[in-house]
Amino acid sequence: MPSSPPHPTQDAGATVGDVGEAALINRIRRRVPPAPDWVATGIGDDAAVVEPARGTLDVVTTDTLVEGIHFERSFFPAADLGHKTLAVNLSDLAAMGATPRVAVLSLVLPAGMAAADLDSLVDGMLALATRHRVALVGGNITRSPGPLVLGMTAIGAVRRRRVLTRGGGRPGDELWVTGTLGAATAGLACLRLEPTGSAVGHTDLAGCVERYRRPDPRVRIGMLLGRNRAASAAVDLSDGLGDGVRQLALASGVGAILDASAVPIDEGARRWFQTHDLDSLDTTLAGGDDYELLVAVPRAHRRRFAAISRLARGVPTTRIGVLTKDPSLVLRTADGERALPGGYQHFQETGDTPQAR
Amino acid sequence: MPSSPPHPTQDAGATVGDVGEAALINRIRRRVPPAPDWVATGIGDDAAVVEPARGTLDVVTTDTLVEGIHFERSFFPAADLGHKTLAVNLSDLAAMGATPRVAVLSLVLPAGMAAADLDSLVDGMLALATRHRVALVGGNITRSPGPLVLGMTAIGAVRRRRVLTRGGGRPGDELWVTGTLGAATAGLACLRLEPTGSAVGHTDLAGCVERYRRPDPRVRIGMLLGRNRAASAAVDLSDGLGDGVRQLALASGVGAILDASAVPIDEGARRWFQTHDLDSLDTTLAGGDDYELLVAVPRAHRRRFAAISRLARGVPTTRIGVLTKDPSLVLRTADGERALPGGYQHFQETGDTPQAR
């Protein structure tokens, strides 16, 4: 092969530019475990070929992480980047009640990125993929003239009439949220103030930083919600609780009342917000990146939902409000009622609250 | 909505940063035609939900165009960018023998990009999507700190035992190529020399520039190849003919002999290469972005393949070589035989030939 480069040495200092595209693809292929038998064609052809699960619909989502917008490489270990790229997509599938199956990965790489970092990134992704039985079946690699851009499309399966959209909520349905909120916002804000992470180890912020870097998508709860039809609607909280409530209410053609005192703010995050003179509630409502689920539950299905909560393996669920016929979005606090603040809007940086993305 | 921006004015000068994410999504939704009835949930939820075509496998591909690597906005009209983002993905599906069905779009947008350009980009994409009955069912929008990055995943359908991989070629199979080659390489090189395109209108390079900007994916031929099983293997020529032959031969565990005089070099491109002292054949072998198909055809299926060529509506097909048991890749010219040069390698810029991507 006269036009090919000399065989790359895999020393620690090699960059992805040194290694070259074909060798990078081989490097990734070698790390990927054998595909399940319903993957007819995996990595290495023009496209992947996948057998749909019998009697199910395909659920398709895509999400992209951009250096300088969603993360800085200086405070984001490559393995965590790989984990998060998949996690944010699995969160979207969970919010639809789907079981994840396959993913394809688009890598836009600065030529100077260390090849070892790409290995770590792929390994971090594959560790999460294995945990949730997701097969990485293809992708694309190209050079970047600037930022590292990680794009992923994930495909899941859901049975007919088990799809959980944003639009099925009805007046009177209760609003529930999984896990705790605000931790990712505090974690990112902490990393921005102290990129070296020197303070992280000896405060309770370690948990917040972990939540920002390695969110745990609610795959199991999402699958259970899809199967037992406990919920009328769901949305993932990638852009914050305020945004999630707004999206679900808008799609369902209803309003909502949120009980401020019920919002499960992460304790470490709350302390960090207080120390930095930030309103814990407003910061949590606006902060994205939590990847918890907001779920609307008809009162008649409360017992079904409680059964899911018991099966959710330690992930708490908290009732935080109710959907209303009146289309207003209301936050009920000890001081009275006010309009619900929004979530994170891409393209807008307000500058007065730490933004997770 | 106290935290929301004032309603955006849609004047010609607005940027995507002015408009904001939620309004951009609405703007795109309004442009998308009604989805076919097998799309259960389209744009606007956490994920799209799609009913698989009965008795088929899902074929999944992803490809990304990056400003500064694959294109410059200065010489790439936004509508053409939208067209090409979809076209390169449809080409991959065609190479698998698949019928395209749905696509999701990842937009990484510089805040200063004109909102009207985004409208044009989406319209250019949708025009091609409509032509091939592809439904845009979802996507993702985020800010870019630098380049415009356009990512797409397309999903098609193919019947069991009709999948066309790279790996089915056998010694003795003939190698055929669709259309003509080299045009996109000449078109890009011309645009790089004269970004204003002033010379394009009054030379035969207009066709080459068009081929670079608006490649016509071989969707129909790909579908026909999948259906009538005329071919043993196929690959799309996104990274050049040299690369395509190498990939197909490698995956099939065979070698190949290419007849140099048979390679269908685009006439406008050939004149441009000659004017600029470039070897037409070597430049064509190395140049990517043609999005033609390379197809291996068993001799016994030659008549079936000829039938496809007749149905291909004016797209010529040309026999350019043969697969061999000997694993060498050989180029047979009037001066004798030599090793086949490679195609385009991402991350490597040779500097001596114009590179399409």
pLDDT higher than 80, residue B354:
no
**Residue B236 with chain A: CB contacts under 8 Å:** 46
Query: In the listed set B128, B159, B190, which residue is the last one of a domain according to the structure?
Result: B159
pLDDT tier for residue A240 given thresholds of 50, 70 and 90:
very high
- Note if the pTM is more than 0.90: yes
pLDDT tier for residue B310 given thresholds of 50, 70 and 90:
confident
Give the pLDDT confidence score for residue B309 in this predicted structure. Answer: 87
d(CA A178, CA A237): 10
Give the pLDDT confidence score for residue B201 in this predicted structure. Answer: 53
**Which long-range contacts link B20-25 to residues 24+ away (Cβ below 8 Å)?**
B20/A345, B20/A346, B20/A347, B20/A348, B21/A345, B21/A346, B21/A347, B21/A348, B21/B141, B22/A345, B24/A347, B24/B115, B24/B118, B24/B141, B25/B141
The fraction of chain B above a pLDDT of 90, given in percent, is 81
**Contact with chain B for residue A286, Cβ under 8 A:** yes
pLDDT higher than 90, residue B196:
no
Q: Do B111 and A236 touch (CB under 8 A)?
A: no
Residue B116 and residue B190 share a domain: no
CATH number at residue B41: 3.30.1330.10
Residue B134 and residue B211 share a domain: no
CA-nearest residue of chain B to A110? B347
**A-proximal residues of B, 145-164, CB under 8 Å:** 145-147, 149, 151, 153, 155-156, 158, 163
pLDDT tier for residue A63 given thresholds of 50, 70 and 90:
very high
pLDDT tier for residue A5 given thresholds of 50, 70 and 90:
very low
d(CA B305, CA B322): 15
Residue A111 and residue A246 share a domain: no
Give the pLDDT confidence score for residue B321 in this predicted structure. Answer: 98
Question: Rounded to 10 degrees, what is the CA torsion of A159, A160, A162, A164?
Answer: 110
Cα angle B127, B132, B137; round to 5: 75
pLDDT in tens, A181-194: 999 999 999 898 87
Residue A137 and residue A188 share a domain: no
| Look-up of token digits 């994170």 | A344
Residue B236 and residue B146 share a domain: no
Give the pLDDT confidence score for residue A180 in this predicted structure. Answer: 96
Residue A192 and residue A278 share a domain: yes
pLDDT tier for residue A3 given thresholds of 50, 70 and 90:
very low
Residue A321 inside a domain? The answer is yes
Residue A284 inside a domain? The answer is yes
Residue B100 and residue B23 share a domain: yes
CB nearest to B61's CB, from A40, A47, A147: A47
Residue B6 inside a domain? The answer is no
Query: In the listed set A159, A182, A199, which residue is the last one of a domain according to the structure?
Result: A159
Give the pLDDT confidence score for residue A21 in this predicted structure. Answer: 86
| Cα dist from B91 to A41, B121, B318, whole Å | 17, 19, 18
Q: Which amino acid is residue B284, in one-letter code?
A: T
**Residue B1 with chain A: CB contacts under 8 Å:** 246, 339, 342
d(CA B154, CA B237): 18
pLDDT higher than 70, residue A1:
no
pLDDT in tens, B279-307: 999 999 998 899 999 999 999 999 999 99
Give the pLDDT confidence score for residue A355 in this predicted structure. Answer: 39
SS3 A138: strand
**Contact with chain A for residue B25, Cβ under 8 A:** no
Residue A153 inside a domain? The answer is yes
The fraction of chain A above a pLDDT of 70, given in percent, is 90
User: Cα B168 to chain center, whole Å?
Assistant: 22
pLDDT higher than 80, residue A354:
no
Residue B144 and residue B236 share a domain: no
Give the pLDDT confidence score for residue B197 in this predicted structure. Answer: 56
Q: Is A265 left (phi over 0), alpha (psi -120 to 50) or beta?
A: beta
**Residue B61 with chain A: CB contacts under 8 Å:** 46-48, 104, 138
pLDDT tier for residue B230 given thresholds of 50, 70 and 90:
very high
**Contact with chain A for residue B347, Cβ under 8 A:** yes
- B149-159 vs B56-66, strand pairing mode: antiparallel
Least confident of A1-5, A175-179, A313-317, B87-91: A1-5
Query: In the listed set A135, A159, A183, which residue is the last one of a domain according to the structure?
Result: A159
Residue A125 and residue A75 share a domain: yes
CA-nearest residue of chain A to B244? A46
Residues pairing with A58 in the sheet: A157, B50
Give the pLDDT confidence score for residue B192 in this predicted structure. Answer: 87
d(CA A178, CA A293): 6
Residue B166 inside a domain? The answer is no
d(CA A74, CA A151): 20
pLDDT in tens, B109-156: 999 999 999 999 999 999 999 999 999 999 999 999 999 999 999 999
d(CA A160, CA A171): 24
d(CA B332, CA A298): 73
The whole-chain average pLDDT of chain B stands at 90
CA-nearest residue of chain A to B345? A21
Tokens of A340: 């619900």
Residue A345 inside a domain? The answer is no
**Residue A350 with chain B: CB contacts under 8 Å:** 3
Single out the residue of A146, A188, A152, A165 nearest to residue A344, CA to CA: A188
Backbone angles phi, psi at A244, to 5 degrees: -60, -45
Residue B185 inside a domain? The answer is yes
Answer whether A47's CB lies under 8 Å from B124's CB. no
Tokens of A279: 């309103």
- Most A CBs within 10 A among B61, B153, B252, hence the mutation to make, goes to B153
Residue B318 and residue B181 share a domain: yes
Q: Which amino acid is residue B239, in one-letter code?
A: D
CATH number at residue B326: 3.90.650.10
Q: Name the minimum distance, in Å, from the CA of A70 to any CA of chain B.
A: 9
Q: How many domains does chain A fold into?
A: 2
Backbone angles phi, psi at A54, to 5 degrees: -55, 130
Single out the residue of A120, A122, A85 nearest to residue A12, CA to CA: A120
Which letter does DSSP use for residue B171 in this model?
A: T
Q: Name the minimum distance, in Å, from the CA of B102 to any CA of chain A.
A: 10
Residue B325 and residue B194 share a domain: yes
Listed in sequence order, the residues at least 6 apart from B303 whose beta carbon sits closer than 8 Å to its beta carbon are none
pLDDT in tens, A297-309: 999 999 999 999 8
Structural domain containing residue B71: 16-159
Residue A97 inside a domain? The answer is yes
Residue B251 and residue B145 share a domain: no
